[in-house]
Structure 1
Amino acid sequence: VDGNQSLDRNYWLTRIEEIAKQGQRVLAIAVKSVSYDQMELKFSDVENDLIMLGMFGLIDPPREEAVEAIQVCDRAGIRVKMITGDHGVTALAIARQLKLVNVDDVLTGQELELMSDDELRQQVQHIDVYARVNPEHKLLLVRLLQEQGLIVAMTGDGVNDAPALKRADVGIAMGQNGTEAAKEAAEMVLADDNFASIMHAVKEGRTVYDNLIKAILFILPTNGGEALIILAAILFGFHQLPLTPVQILWVNMVTAVTLALSLAFEPPEQNVMQRPPRNAYESMLTSYLIWRVVFVSVILMSGTFGLFLWEMDQGASIEHSRTVAVNTLIMFEIFYLFNSRYITASVLKWSGLTGNFYVLIAIGILIIFQLGFTYLPLMQSLFGTTAIDLHIWLRILFVSSSVLFLVELEKFFVRSMGLNR
């Protein structure tokens, strides 16, 4: 190598693009002679008179689980965008390997600086690949996405990523290779530096939120049904209530620590990662969920109060009628617990009835509690209950099981109207 030949710029640019199209980062190697006594290099020393030796490509292929996770995120309504300092051609090649939504267009940092904010707002909606960007560009992209009402999560590992991590709604720093500055600026730290872990975290978060909604949907109709039972008794002019305060306390106590608690262990629904994200500003109790609470409350009130009236009409004592009412309400809740496992999907299948082992355990424990509540002398004296015969239990089961089929019918109409989650 004598350095006397001029550099064929077009030739080398073509070679760079060829390597970059394979998703490789291109590094060029050059040498320059300096005087023996020169102890340090300045930027001006490497601006010219370099002798090109060659170049090579480095490849860091995406993990298979990351590619799959991006596909899952896309189905879940999460748009993944890649912001990198790599060459634009390299970035597009990697984007194709990752199977991003838009792998045909790329915006470079230089192009970003030439655009107005209005132009950028239009571009960021469909551009998924950004190359040769600096920290200011990352911060700008986060801000523009947020201005469009989007919830933005961003990953980063370097000091330069800290401003954008702090500005994002959810900043995620790398736990293994991330700097302390990035970790301090972020809300979360990704312990294994694996993008697939973010997808799993989203799935877990959606499942926890779903289970919270299910627990609320289960508990509120119980309280609503109790309130409607008391209200109906007052409106009908009864001097003795169908449920005493201590019996209401019993119902709320045993169902909360058994049935409602079991819903916290619900596994993810099949479509949990196949539906768009919920509106961050949406109330937990939507109009549909309020309708469900009212609908089930009326069912519980009608069946419980109806059997209470039936027993009273048959000449039963007030203690006997109240015992029937309490057990009817409890059995209603047991059947409705199965409905609550899926918010809009049908539960009338084997997995819907047996898919949560904790639900079955909770039901078994509650049945034992209710048998003690009904037949143990101590419980009878505490709660004013009496023993009831088998044929009355069969009547209770027949009436209370109606909620299972009525709610499933309501779910069917909801799905038919396209309101399925």
Structure 2
Amino acid sequence: MRPEPARQEAAALRGGGPPAGVTATAPPPDRQEVSPSSIPALPVPDVFAALGSSPRGLPPDEAAARLNRHGPNDLPSAGHGHVWHRLVAQFTDLFAVVLLVSSAITFLAYVLGRPRDPATLQLALAILGVVLLNAGIGFAQEYSAERTAESLQAMVPHTCRVLRGGERRELSARDLVPGDVVILEAGDAVPADCRLVEAQEAAVNNAALTGESDPVARVAKPVPPGPPLEARNCVLMGTDLVAGTGKAVVFATGTATEFGRLFRLTAAAPRQKTPLQRQVAVMARRVAGVALATGAVLFAVRAPSGQPFVDTFVFSLGVMVALVPEGLPATLSVSLAIGVRRMARRHALVKQLLAVEALGSTSVICTDKTGTLTRAEMTVVQLWADGVSHAVTGVGYAPAGEVTDAGPVRELLRAAALCGNARLVPPAGRDQWRVLGDTTEGALLVAALKAGLDPAKEEALTPRVAEHPFDSARKLMSTVHRDGDGTYFAYVKGAPLELLARCAAVDRGGTRTPLTDAVRARVAAAADGMAAQGLRVLAVARRRVPGPRPPQGEVESELTLLGFAGMYDPPRPEVRDAVDACRRAGIRIVMVTGDHPLTAEAVARRVGIVRRATPTVATGTQLDGLDADGLDALLAGSAELLLCRVGPEHKARVVTALQRRGEVVAVTGDGANDAPALKHADIGVAMGASGTDVAREAAVMVLLDDSFASIVTAVGLGRSVYRNIRKFLIYLFSHNIAELVPILAATFAGFPLVPITAVQILAIDLGSDVLPALALGAEPMEPDVMNSPPRPRRERLFSTAVMGRVLFLGGIQALGVCAVFFWHIHASGVPYADFTKSDPVYRHAITMVQAGIVVSQFFNALAVRTSRQSVFRAGLLTNPWLLAAGCSGIGLMAAISYAPPLQAVFRTAPLTPTDWAVLAAFGVLLLAAEELRKWALRHRRTSPKGGTR
């Protein structure tokens, strides 16, 4: 029976005014002291009184006043800042600052030079162009990555039906205010947080807030006080009414809603810097400091020697430029972009370049269950009838498979198919078989088809005349059907315990057998046995009824049990291998789900996350009772951990606790409730197929196929990217030593000129080294990349082993170019003090230095492709882009040596074939020395830590 206020309102609407005995007075102002937690406990009349409303809704003038007072019912736009501020921020990165300083110094050298060299100006502009390119790449990535608040806003419905002054109106959802009476029907999105005052078989989908997609029944009667999200008489913004109808009074709008609370959590969560961001920042600070300090010291050493000020300054400039890897930011960005493209081909879309590397250092993956580990397709795998189990083959919604000995279970499946509202949709275009409606009912339809039944034909032969929808309190659904001879039957399905309690008999080969205590115990044991296998069990029953619309109590009593259907959401077939790969790689997997612990454990065992007899299982309620130390102890205790029945705050708290323990955390999510955890994580991973816009925008990676295996593949690619970054860092920084050491040697030897000019250094850094470095960044993933534990969060990009290789390879190059330079200088017999910049011998000597670095770098690129394995075993031709890039650098050097216009710019001289042969011999010597080092590493009993692979 409807509450009295609802009848009064209905009478008022029919008659155009208030019912007899009711005065049409304006409602009192809304009461600010009413807390949302007290709203569920109020009777319907008190709800109206507490919110200053009435069954007729708010008068228009009062609604307008409240709109001014409370503001519009929407979420504020995210404060991303002006676009120009975001662009300028790209130039405040320290590596960008280092490059800008390098460009400024080069331009200053041009200004101070006499005569001024136009080539110096051109190279200064070239460095500036590199800065602009890096900034453009970073800006484009970041500008498209952060739109979480806009996505939250897009989920709010635009219009809704409201009672204003007794009139039904359609209004913009932005104009809703507390006290408005909203009319809801199945399929409507809930526009604000509301308390139901009328409900007819209403059910909502709270997936956007709780992560659980099962419909949840809603009632209008009072319930115990508590959070609105847990109240059975409240419907909240961002959810959907999936069944029934109702009227509800708005009690919270905008950011005051539960949805708004999630918005605030998401907006407040800072984006975590990736390990590579932190390490590159440290490296940039050190490089800048060393470059400036070294240049300043050498300027102070040479200034008192009587050299001209400008010459001394240019000399110091050469030292600083030699230490700055001008091509590194562009090389790093493009290498990460290559990783992004490779991941996209593996169904993982990465929105931020630096997140590629962070994936490689992932040590913990917090994964949800449905859709990520499983296929999100309920499948009936076992049927029980008349004491016998019947296996069902096939997976998913495609009706491909069969039911073993289908005869005895045909009536069970026929009843289950009739007692449901789902519809099976065949493939169309690229779409696969899918279900419209409840997935459990869809699974029963598929099983019926596998048994040879046609649900549509059965529905036509036995049309439905009445329905009692599923209710979470009684956990049953029943329908009434008319048979061909005019007989009426009721079909009921639901939870085994609840339905068994209403059964008086069991079907035995078409015969109704009384359900004695002994038989009841055997039947219950059969249901328990199916549940123990991790199956979701539904019981199905029927009875004959006297007419088309019997009372619900009569329909759902004195039933005859037909049997049980056991179903489960099948794991994705590729997940078990992916879980095994995580174990080999030392990556811990923590399941974080809103599902029941038994269901979570069953799935975890199927995919290999749980192997022990007793994994650690904790619920959200248990997490609430733990302080920070208790949570740390829980996370550190067991390697197999399942967190069940958790909410968004729990997820974010767990992520923060894991990070506090030094872990690099990847988190998966698909709903708005996951957005805070996705932003808190080092790597937020959203579902592309089933996820909400909120989750996709909060994450830095989107799985296009929703599969856990794609995460693991992306982790392997991320590790490969990190290895490749180390390779080209060794390549780039080793030649910096070859540029710096000759300058230092000339200083201490008393030579008045630099062995290599700043212009030549820039030509090497920007002309000859970038393409080979890019080719190293594109090295394919090595087979053993997932056979080692993740690197520690605090491990430096420049580890001891990396710095050792830089010094080893750079030292060999430095010795070679110093030898050729001073050999030419001494062979001329000219005193040091008599050399000038235009001297042919000097120009030939500095050309040899530049060419020596370029040629040795070609062999260096081959050497750094592996750290332990011989490059000859890996194959010299397995990276043809590297060979082409190295040859292009040598070709550019040849042009600088032989082309008169470039000779004028770089002050170089033509090299002889003998010169090239000598330089090639030094390169071969470098490669041979590195191969000898690798041979020694391979033959040691214990390998050093921290090296690249």
Residue 133 (structure 1) aligned with residue 645 (structure 2): yes
Partner of 1:338: 862
Identity of counterpart residues, as a percentage? Answer: 35
- Distance 1:50-1:149 versus aligned 2 partners, 3 A rule: farther
* Count of matched residue positions in the alignment of Structure 1 and Structure 2: 415
Partner of 1:393: 916
Partner of 1:221: 734
Partner of 1:364: 887
Deviation readout 1:361-410 (Å, 9 max, x if unpaired) = 11221222222222333333333333333233222211222222223333
Partner of 1:62: 571
Q: Which moved more, 1:9-18 or 1:211-220?
A: 9-18
- Distance 1:169-1:334 versus aligned 2 partners, 3 A rule: closer
Partner of 1:211: 724
Residue 293 (structure 1) aligned with residue 821 (structure 2): no
Partner of 1:104: 613
Residue 251 (structure 1) aligned with residue 756 (structure 2): no
- Distance 1:138-1:49 versus aligned 2 partners, 3 A rule: farther
Deviation readout 1:154-175 (Å, 9 max, x if unpaired) = 2233455455445444332222
Partner of 2:484: none
The one-letter code sitting in structure 2 at the alignment partner of 1:418 is P
Residue 269 (structure 1) aligned to one of 767, 778, 782: 782
Q: Which moved more, 1:195-204 or 1:249-258?
A: 249-258
Checking the alignment, whether the CA contact within 8 Å between 1:30 and 1:53 is kept in structure 2 is: yes
Shift of 1:266: 1.7
Residues in 2 aligned to 1:290 and 1:313: alpha-carbon distance in whole angstroms: 33
Partner of 1:175: 688
Residues in 1 aligned to 2:736 and 2:559: alpha-carbon distance in whole angstroms: 81
Residue 702 (structure 2) aligned to one of 189, 203, 224: 189
Residues in 1 aligned to 2:639 and 2:523: alpha-carbon distance in whole angstroms: 29
Checking the alignment, whether the CA contact within 8 Å between 1:373 and 1:385 is kept in structure 2 is: yes
Deviation readout 1:211-240 (Å, 9 max, x if unpaired) = 222222211122222111111011111233
Checking the alignment, whether the CA contact within 8 Å between 2:590 and 2:643 is kept in structure 1 is: no
Deviation readout 1:163-190 (Å, 9 max, x if unpaired) = 5445444332222222345445544332
Residues in 1 aligned to 2:558 and 2:663: alpha-carbon distance in whole angstroms: 50
Residue 282 (structure 1) aligned with residue 795 (structure 2): yes
Deviation readout 1:286-307 (Å, 9 max, x if unpaired) = 2332232233332221110112
Residue 27 (structure 1) aligned to one of 518, 538, 546: 538
Q: SS at the partner of 1:178? A: coil
Checking the alignment, whether the CA contact within 8 Å between 1:25 and 1:86 is kept in structure 2 is: no
Shift of 1:58: 1.1
Partner of 2:622: 113
Residues in 2 aligned to 1:231 and 1:155: alpha-carbon distance in whole angstroms: 53
- Distance 1:229-1:359 versus aligned 2 partners, 3 A rule: same
Checking the alignment, whether the CA contact within 8 Å between 1:157 and 1:179 is kept in structure 2 is: yes
The one-letter code sitting in structure 2 at the alignment partner of 1:253 is L
- Distance 1:126-1:94 versus aligned 2 partners, 3 A rule: same
**Structure 2 unaligned regions, length at least 5:** 1-502, 506-513, 830-840
Checking the alignment, whether the CA contact within 8 Å between 2:772 and 2:861 is kept in structure 1 is: yes
Residue 78 (structure 1) aligned to one of 564, 577, 587: 587
Checking the alignment, whether the CA contact within 8 Å between 2:597 and 2:645 is kept in structure 1 is: no
Residues in 2 aligned to 1:161 and 1:54: alpha-carbon distance in whole angstroms: 38
Residue 377 (structure 1) aligned with residue 900 (structure 2): yes
Checking the alignment, whether the CA contact within 8 Å between 2:596 and 2:645 is kept in structure 1 is: no
The one-letter code sitting in structure 2 at the alignment partner of 1:79 is R
Residues in 2 aligned to 1:139 and 1:386: alpha-carbon distance in whole angstroms: 64
Residues in 2 aligned to 1:284 and 1:150: alpha-carbon distance in whole angstroms: 17
- Distance 1:234-1:194 versus aligned 2 partners, 3 A rule: same
Deviation readout 1:240-295 (Å, 9 max, x if unpaired) = 33223333232223223332232222222332222222233433222332232233
Q: SS at the partner of 1:278? A: coil
Shift of 1:69: 1.5
Q: SS at the partner of 1:153? A: strand
Checking the alignment, whether the CA contact within 8 Å between 2:666 and 2:682 is kept in structure 1 is: yes
Q: Which moved more, 1:232-241 or 1:172-181?
A: 172-181
Residues in 2 aligned to 1:242 and 1:182: alpha-carbon distance in whole angstroms: 57
Deviation readout 1:16-46 (Å, 9 max, x if unpaired) = 453245443333457899x95879x9xxxx9
Residues in 2 aligned to 1:393 and 1:290: alpha-carbon distance in whole angstroms: 29
Shift of 1:413: 4.7
The one-letter code sitting in structure 2 at the alignment partner of 1:330 is V
Checking the alignment, whether the CA contact within 8 Å between 1:308 and 1:322 is kept in structure 2 is: yes
Partner of 2:603: 94
In our comparison, the structure showing a higher alpha carbon Rg is: 2
Residues in 2 aligned to 1:11 and 1:146: alpha-carbon distance in whole angstroms: 50
Q: Which moved more, 1:156-165 or 1:272-281?
A: 156-165
Residue 149 (structure 1) aligned to one of 633, 639, 662: 662
- Distance 1:156-1:253 versus aligned 2 partners, 3 A rule: closer
Q: TM-score, normalised by structure 1?
A: 0.83
- Distance 1:248-1:130 versus aligned 2 partners, 3 A rule: closer
- Distance 1:101-1:217 versus aligned 2 partners, 3 A rule: farther
Residue 324 (structure 1) aligned to one of 838, 841, 848: 848
Checking the alignment, whether the CA contact within 8 Å between 2:865 and 2:871 is kept in structure 1 is: no
Checking the alignment, whether the CA contact within 8 Å between 1:138 and 1:164 is kept in structure 2 is: yes
- Distance 1:240-1:29 versus aligned 2 partners, 3 A rule: same
Residue 239 (structure 1) aligned with residue 761 (structure 2): no
Q: Which moved more, 1:119-128 or 1:369-378?
A: 119-128
Q: Which moved more, 1:124-133 or 1:110-119?
A: 110-119
Residues in 1 aligned to 2:646 and 2:521: alpha-carbon distance in whole angstroms: 27
C-alpha RMSD of matched pairs (Å): 3.7
Q: SS at the partner of 1:335? A: helix
- Distance 1:144-1:320 versus aligned 2 partners, 3 A rule: closer
Q: SS at the partner of 1:82? A: strand
- Distance 1:319-1:116 versus aligned 2 partners, 3 A rule: closer
Checking the alignment, whether the CA contact within 8 Å between 2:620 and 2:650 is kept in structure 1 is: no
Q: SS at the partner of 1:279? A: coil
Q: SS at the partner of 2:876? A: helix
Checking the alignment, whether the CA contact within 8 Å between 2:539 and 2:564 is kept in structure 1 is: yes
Residues in 1 aligned to 2:927 and 2:613: alpha-carbon distance in whole angstroms: 51
Deviation readout 1:319-354 (Å, 9 max, x if unpaired) = 222222222121111111112223x23342253422
Checking the alignment, whether the CA contact within 8 Å between 1:23 and 1:59 is kept in structure 2 is: yes
Residues in 2 aligned to 1:254 and 1:143: alpha-carbon distance in whole angstroms: 44
Residues in 1 aligned to 2:770 and 2:619: alpha-carbon distance in whole angstroms: 60
**Structure 1 unaligned regions, length at least 5:** none
- Distance 1:75-1:55 versus aligned 2 partners, 3 A rule: same
Residue 308 (structure 1) aligned to one of 815, 818, 821: 821
Residues in 1 aligned to 2:665 and 2:895: alpha-carbon distance in whole angstroms: 54
Q: SS at the partner of 1:402? A: helix
The one-letter code sitting in structure 2 at the alignment partner of 1:335 is F
Checking the alignment, whether the CA contact within 8 Å between 2:817 and 2:853 is kept in structure 1 is: yes
Residues in 2 aligned to 1:165 and 1:10: alpha-carbon distance in whole angstroms: 47
Residue 2 (structure 1) aligned with residue 498 (structure 2): no
- Distance 1:360-1:187 versus aligned 2 partners, 3 A rule: closer
